[in-house]
Structure 1
Amino acid sequence: MNCDESVSNSVWRYARAARAHVVIDAADYYALMQKAMEAAQQRIHLIGWDFDTRMHLGPGRRLWNLPRKAVNPARLGPFMIWLCERNRSLEVRVLKWNFGALKYLLRGTMIIDLLRWWLHRGIVFKFDAAHPVGCSHHQKIVVIDDMFAVCGGIDMTSDRWDTPEHIEQDPRRRRPYSKKLYGPWHDLTMLVEGEAAAALAELGRDRWVVAGGDPLLPCAPQAQSAWPPGLEAQFEDVEIGIARTRSAWHEVPEQHEIEALFIEHIARAKHFIYAESQYFASRAVAEAIAERLAQPDPPEIVLINPRTAEGWLEQAAMDGARVQLCHAIGEHDPAGRFRIFIPVNAAGTAIYVHSKTMIVDDEVLRVGSANMNNRSMGLDTECDVFIDAARPGNGHAAEPIKRLRMTLLAEHTGMPLAAVEAALARDPSMIALIENAPRGGKRLDAFKLRALTETEKTMADNALLDPERPEQLFEPFSKRRGLFRAGGFLRNPREWRRK
C-alpha cells in the first residue's frame, strides 16, 4: 500500500503499535524527545509547521560550544549537529512549511544555526511549498529510525514550552534570548512505536519527495527503538488509525479523511464527547454536532477552547465563526448538552489551548494536528492518529483512554485526579463536574457569547479567511461556501432570528 491508498474515506492506514503514549504539555515532550533523538541510530525526520533552532529541549550546555563536547547542547540547533558529530552515519532531515521563511532573519542566531546545518553533510533542511496558494503544511510529526514516531499538536518552536501547572509568570516560559515571558500554553501529542511508526515514516518520506527532496530509503531493521528510557507506556500492543488532510497539488490527489473521521466519531457518540481544539469554526464539525444533538438522548459535548485566537485577523475570522456556530447549534440543543469552556490558571490568566484531541465515550481517542476549523478539513496538510477500543484486539485501550480524560479534566479544573474520578463516579456529567469544581485555583470558565460587528458576521458567515477548499479562496461570496451554505443542516442565526 502506498501513501495514496486509503483503507476507507476516513482512514488512511491501520497499524499496530507495540507501545503508545500521550504526552501532555511541551515541557515533558521536549525532554522526552531529547532522550529519544539521542538514541537515534539511522535517521531523524522532523516534519512541522515551524521550527526554532534557538529553543531549549532539556538539560545540557546553554552556551555556544563545539559540537564534539561530551555534554549535549540544550538548544535544538547545536543539538542536531552534536548528534551527527557523535554518530557520523546519522541522517537528519527537517521539513518546514515555507511561509514565514523570511522571519528567520529576525530570529538572531537561528540564521547561524541554519547555516551550520546547511554546511553539515548529515543534515538537510527543506521548506515545504508543495501546496496551492493560501494553504499550509501543518503536520507535526517526528520519526526516528522508522521505529519510533510522534504525531500531534506540538511544534518544536518558541512560545510552546509549559508545564501542566501553567504557573503565572513562570520565568522558564521565556522567549529565546529575551527577558520577555509568554503566557500559559496547553498542548498534546502522541508517541508510537513499531508498525504505526513505520506507517508514519512512510507518510513522511512521501511528503519529503512531494516537497522536492531526494527519495529516502526505509531504514534498515534494528533491534531497539528510540522509545525514551524510563517512560512507561499508557498503551501496549494497540492498533493505531491514521487520517490525513491534503489539498490536491499537481499529481498528488486531495485527501479529506480527517473531516470524514470527525463526522463518524461525532455520529457514534452515545454518552459524551470531550474535545480540545485551538478553534471551533468548522462547518462540517458543527453540523455533525448539531445533527447528533437533534437526535433523541443526545450525548454531552464539552469543548475546551482558548478564550480568543491569536492575532487580530484570526480573532475576526475564527472567534466570529465560533459565536455564529454556537448560536446555530443552540437551536438544536434545548437541553444545553453542548458547552465550550475556557481554561484559566490560578491567577485567572487564560491558558492558550493549542491541542487538537477528542475522546468519545472513553472508547475513541484521537490526537493530531487538525483543528476544528475549515482549513484543517480541506486546505492544509494535516495528520491525526487515533485509537478505537471497539476495534478487534483493542478492548484493553478503553481504561487508559478513560484515565487520560480524567487527567485532562484534573489539569484544567485544578482538582486532584482522585477527586475527579470520584466525582464522575457519582455523576458522569462533565459539565456538572466543571461547574461544581473549586474556583480558587485553576479552573474552566464558561465561554460567553458576545455581540459581533457586522464586519465580523460577514467574515464568519462567508468563511473569508477559513475556506473549506482551495478553490474557495477565489470565490469569497458564494452559496457553495461559508458556515451556512445552501443545503446545509445549520441555518444562519440572522435568518432564523428574523422569523
Structure 2
Amino acid sequence: MNETVFKPSENCWKTDEIKRGTLLVDSADFYRAVHAAMSRARKSIFILGWDIDSGIALLRGEDAKRSADPSVLIELLSKKARENPELNIYILIWDSSVAFVGEREFLPELVWTNNTPENIHFHLDSTIPLWGSHHQKIILIDDQLVFTGGMDLARQRWDERSHHPEDPLRMDANGSYGPFHDVQIMMDGPIVKSFSEIVRVRWKSSTGYEAKNPDFNPSAVWPPPFPVSLENFRAAVARTIPKTETTSEVHEINQMYRDLFKSATRFIYIENQYFSSKEMARALNAALKNNKELHALLISSYDPQGIFESEAMWANRIDFKRIASRGVENQIRFASSGIKTQDGNICYKRIHSKVLVVDDHHCTVGSANLTNRSMDLDTECDVVLEAQDLIQRKQIQHIRNDLIAEHVGLTTAEVEELFTRQNPLAEIFNIQHDAYRLWEIEDTKFTTQTFQSMASTFADPEDTDIQKTLHLKNPRKVLVISLLLALVSFMIIGSFVRNHISWFSTESIHAFLKSARSSPWSFLIVCAAYVAGGFVLFPVTLMSLLTAAVFGSLWGPIYGMTGALLSAAVMFGLGHWAGLKGTRRFLGDRIRSIDAKFQKTGVIGVTILRLIPIAPYSLVNIAAGISSVRFIDFILGTFLGFLPAFIVKGLVGDSLTQVFLNPTKKTVIYLTLGIGLWILLTVGTYFFTKRWQNRASP
C-alpha cells in the first residue's frame, strides 16, 4: 500500500514503527504476558487505567502453581519493588464516580500506600471534565515494552479464549461472571517512545511532579512464551483528549475512524463494547452507500448490565443501528457471539474489545468505544496499524479472521475460506452449529427508549460544551463520601437537638458549665479531647475557644495550652514513627512544603508557623515528626507561638460564655475588645513574620 491514511495532527498524533508486536486476545493471555513482563522489569513500570484491583490474580490454576513469583498483582509488584529499590512503579487510575463504588476496590489509594514499598507510587487522577473518565489503558515496562487496548487489571475481566460458559476460574471479589472477550496489543520498538511521553505527561499533570526520566537503553522484557505476529509495522497513535483548564481538545480518533471508513473497499469488521455515536453511524452509512460492494460486520454484547446501559447505551445503539443501516440493510449486520447451553439457554460473551479492521490494510486496537464520550469527553488512546506490503496485509487479514473464528466456532483457515466467497457476511451468519456462533442483536427487548435522553445525559452525553466552558469536574469519590457522611451526621445531630430542645435553655447550659468547671476530672478530659481532636483534624482554634468558654479566662488558656502541647507531642511521635517517605507518600506535596520550612529553621520557625498556620494543626505536627527539627525545639516553638494567641482566645471564649449566659453591655464590650485584640495580634504577627523573613533572606 503506497498511499497512507495517516495525517499527523489531524487523525493521529504521531507515526512510528512497531518492531515487534502481537495481539493478546482475552485477558488470560494478557495477564500472563503482563505478569512475565513485570517480573523482568528493571527500571520502571507505568500502569494507566480506568480501574485497577490490587487483589486481581494475574495467573490462575496451573499457571499460578508453576510460577516462582506471586500471582496477585499487589504481591507481585511489592516483591519486585522490594527486591530492586531502583525499580519505580507508577500507578495512575481514574478517580472514578461514586456510581462505581460497589463494583470497584474501595479507597484503593489506602490499599496501595499502606501495603507497598515506597518505590510504588499510586495516584487517583481527577483531571477530567464532569461526567468524563480517564479511559486510556496503558502498561509501559522499562520504556521498552508497551501494552495498550481495551483491558484493565480489574475485576471481572479474566477469561480464556475458549470462553467456557461455566469456568470455575472466572471468579473474583465480585463473585462469578460470564464469558468475557477483550483485545490488547503488545509492542516494542520506536513506537514505545510515544507511550513513554503519554504516561509521563499524564503523571505530571495529575500529581504535579515528574516521574523518573525515560531510559531507552535496550532491555530484555519481551515475554519469551509469546510469539511475534507483527514485525516492522508502520503505526500511528491516535488520541482523544477533552478540553480542560490545562489541555486543548484532541479528536484524532474521531477523524481516524471517519477516514478509515472512507478508505474501505470490501469489508469493515468492528468489535466494540458500545455503538452509540450518531456521528460514527452516519460516517459508516456514507461509506456503505458509496460502495455497494462494501460490507460491514459489527459485534458487541447482547444483553445490558444495569439500567444505565439499557436506557443509555442500548437505547442509543437502536439509533446507531437505524442510522448506519438506512438504505444499506443488506450490507451491514449487528451481532453477538453466544453458545447454547445444556439447559437450552444462550450464553453470550461480554464484548469489551475495541477493534476495527478495514479490508486487509488497516487495523486499530485501543481503548475507544464508538460512543460520544470516547470521541469527545474521555481520554482515549488507539494504535492504528497500516500494511505496507503483501506479508503485512496477510497479517492484518489473520487478525480479522482469527477474531471472527473465535466468535463463530470455526478455525482461522475456515474463516479465511469464507472470505473467498462472493458474500462472506452472509456466509458467516449462515453458520449453524452447537459451538459459539453469531446471533442477531435485539436491543428492543431491553429498552423502550423512554428514559434514553435522561440516561444519556450522564452515561453518554452528546453536548459537552457546558462542562468544557465552565471547566466543571467530577467530584472526587472521597469528597462525595465525606459529604454523605457529614449529611448523615448532621441529620443525627438535628434529630437529637429536636428531641431534646427543652434542654437547650440558659439555666441548663449554666448548670452544665458550672458542673464541668468543678469536675475533678476536668483537666484529664480536656487533655484527652485535644489528643482525640488531633486524630480527627478538629480545629485547635475552636477547641481553644470552647475550653476558654467552659473554664474561663484563667484556667481556660492553661488547660488549652497543656492539651494542645500534648496533642502536638502525640502527633509528632506518630509522624516520627511513620517515617519520612511513608508519610510523604500519603499526604503529598503539602506536607513536603511544611517539612522544607522546618529543615531551614529551628525554634523561631516553629513559633512563626504556629502564629500563621499554613496547614491544619495535626498535619503540621506530623510533618514536624518526619522532619529534622528536634522535639525540644518543636515543643518550645509551639509554646511560644501559642502563648499570646491562647491568652486572647481565653478572653474571647470567656466573653462568649458571658454574653450567652448574661448578655449585658459590659460583657458585649469585653467580647468586642477581645476580638479586636485577636485581629490586632494576627495582623501584627503577619507583618513581623514578613519582616523577619526578609531579613533572613540572603
Report TM bin, short chain.
Answer: 0.7 to 0.9
Question: Residues 109 and 60 from structure 1, CA distance in 2 versus in 1: closer, same or farther, beyond 3 angstroms?
Answer: farther
Indicate how the Cα distance of structure 1 residues 361 and 214 shifts in structure 2: closer, same or farther if over 3 A, else same.
same
Q: Deviations over 1:256-295 (max 9, x none)?
A: 0000101001111110100001111012210101111222
C-alpha displacement of 1:230:
2.6
Q: Secondary structure at the match of 2:255?
A: helix
Q: Deviations over 1:306-351 (max 9, x none)?
A: 01332211210111111122223332315x1111011113522111
- Structure 1 equivalent of residue 157 of structure 2: 160
Judging changes above 3 Å, is the alpha-carbon distance between structure 1 residues 422 and 474 closer, same or farther for their aligned structure 2 residues?
Answer: closer
The aligned residue for residue 347 of structure 2 is 349
Task: Report Cα offsets for 1:170-228 as digits up to 9, x if no partner.
Answer: 1000023x7x3101100001111011112111111111111124212432232324111
Indicate how the Cα distance of structure 1 residues 454 and 467 shifts in structure 2: closer, same or farther if over 3 A, else same. closer
Tell me the distance in 2 between the aligned counterparts of 1:437 and 1:382: 35
CA distance in 1, matches of 2:339, 2:273: 17
Structure 2 CA distance for aligned equivalents of residues 46 and 418 of structure 1: 36
Question: Corresponding residue for 2:49?
Answer: 48
CA, structure 1 residues 229+333, in 2 after alignment: closer, same or farther (shift >3 Å)?
Answer: same
Task: Indicate whether 1:187 and 2:185 are aligned.
Answer: no
Is 1:282 the counterpart of 2:277? The answer is yes
Q: Could you state the TM-score of these two structures normalised by the residue count of structure 2?
A: 0.62
Inter-partner Cα distance in structure 1 for 2:300 and 2:263: 23
Structure 1 runs (4+) deviating above 6 angstroms are 60-63, 108-112
- Aligned 8 A contact 1:25 1:188 in 2: yes
- Superposed CA deviations along residues 73-130 of structure 1, whole A, max 9, x for unmatched, are 110011110111122210000000001579399748967742445x522100000111
Percent identity reads 29
Map 1:31-430 → 2, pairs under 5 A = 31-58=32-59, 71-100=68-97, 103=101, 107=105, 113-117=111-115, 120-176=117-173, 180-334=175-329, 336-347=330-341, 348-389=346-387, 393=388, 396-425=391-420, 427=421, 429-430=423-424
Distance, in Å, in 1 between the alignment partners of 2:110 and 2:59 is 21
Is contact 2:104–2:155 with CA below 8 Å preserved after alignment? no
Task: Give the 5 Å matches for 1:477-496.
Answer: none
Q: For 1:474 and 1:15, locate their aligned partners in 2 and report how far apart those are by CA, in whole Å.
A: 32
* Distance in 2 (alpha carbons) for counterparts of 1:394 and 1:381: 32
**How many residues are matched?**
455
Secondary structure of the equivalent of 1:345? strand
Deviation at 1:60, TM superposition (A): 9.5
CA deviation profile, 1:2-27 (whole Å, cap 9, x unmatched): xxxx8231100111121011110000
Deviations 1:123-157 (A, max 9, x none): 00000111111110001000011111011000101
Partner in structure 2 of residue 435 of structure 1: 429
Q: Secondary structure at the match of 2:123?
A: strand
Cα gap change, 1:272/1:281 in structure 2, threshold over 3 Å: closer, same or farther? same
Q: Deviations over 1:414-447 (max 9, x none)?
A: 112222222322x153322322213311111012
Q: Is the CA contact 2:151–2:184 (under 8 Å) kept in the aligned structure 1? A: yes
CA RMSD between the two structures: 2.6
Quote how far apart the aligned CAs of 1:463 are. Answer: 5.9
Structure 2 CA distance for partners of 1:226 and 1:417, relative to 1, 3 Å: same
SS of match in other structure, 2:170: coil
**In 2, Cα distance between equivalents of 1:265 and 1:152:** 18
Which is richer in strand? 1
8 Å Cα contact 2:44/2:87 also seen in 1: yes
Q: Which runs of 5+ in 2 are unaligned?
A: 1-6, 470-698
Cα deviation for residue 468 of structure 1 reads 3.7
Higher relative contact order (CA 8 A, sep 6+): 1
Amino acid at match of 1:360: V
Partner of 2:30: 29
C-alpha separation between the residues in 2 aligned to 1:90 and 1:446?
49
* Change over 3 Å in CA distance of 1:54–1:39 after alignment to 2: same
Contact 1:278–1:309 (Cα < 8 Å) also in 2: no
Sort the Cα spacing of 1:361 and 1:148 in 2 relative to 1 into closer, same or farther, 3 A: same
SS at 1:195's partner residue? coil
- Structure 1 residues 333 and 456: alpha-carbon distance in aligned structure 2, compared to 1, 3 A threshold: farther
Letter matched to residue 347 of structure 2: T
Change (3 A) 1:463 1:333: farther
Range with bigger deviation, 43-52 or 77-86: 77-86
- SS in structure 1 at match of 2:419: helix
Q: Distance in 1 between matches of 2:262 and 2:227?
A: 33
Secondary structure in 1 matching 2:279: helix
SS of 1:411's equivalent? helix
Structure 2 contact 418–428 (Cα < 8 Å) conserved: no
Structure 1: gaps (5+ residues): 1-5, 64-69, 476-499
Answer yes or no: is the 8 Å Cα contact 1:247–1:470 preserved in 2: no
- 1:227/1:187 CA distance change after superposition, 3 Å: same
One-letter amino acid matched to 1:287: R
Cα gap change, 1:107/1:216 in structure 2, threshold over 3 Å: closer, same or farther? closer
Task: Give the Cα–Cα distance (whole angstroms) in 2 for the partners of residues 468 and 14 of structure 1.
Answer: 30
CA contact (8 A) 2:60 2:169 kept: no
User: Larger deviation: 75-84 or 228-237?
Assistant: 228-237
Distance 1:183 1:50 in 2: 19
1:301 aligned partner, one-letter code:
A
CA distance in 2, matches of 1:256, 1:419: 38
> Judging changes above 3 Å, is the alpha-carbon distance between structure 1 residues 280 and 87 closer, same or farther for their aligned structure 2 residues?
same
What is the SS of the residue equivalent to 2:186?
strand
SS at match of 2:59: coil
Work out the CA distance in 2 between the residues paired with 1:465 and 1:366.
Answer: 24
Distance 1:325 1:34, change over 3 A: same
Largest Rg, 1 or 2: 2
> Which one has the bigger helix percentage?
2
- 2:8 corresponds in structure 1 to 7
Contact 1:14 1:196 in 2 (8 A): yes
**How far apart, CA to CA, are the structure 2 residues paired with 1:328 and 1:269?**
19
Distance 2:268 2:103 in 1: 43
Relative to structure 1, the CA distance from residue 454 to residue 110 in structure 2 (aligned partners, 3 Å threshold; closer, same or farther) is closer
Q: Could you tell me which amino acid in structure 1 is paired with residue 298 of structure 2?
A: L
Displacement, 1:159?
Answer: 0.2
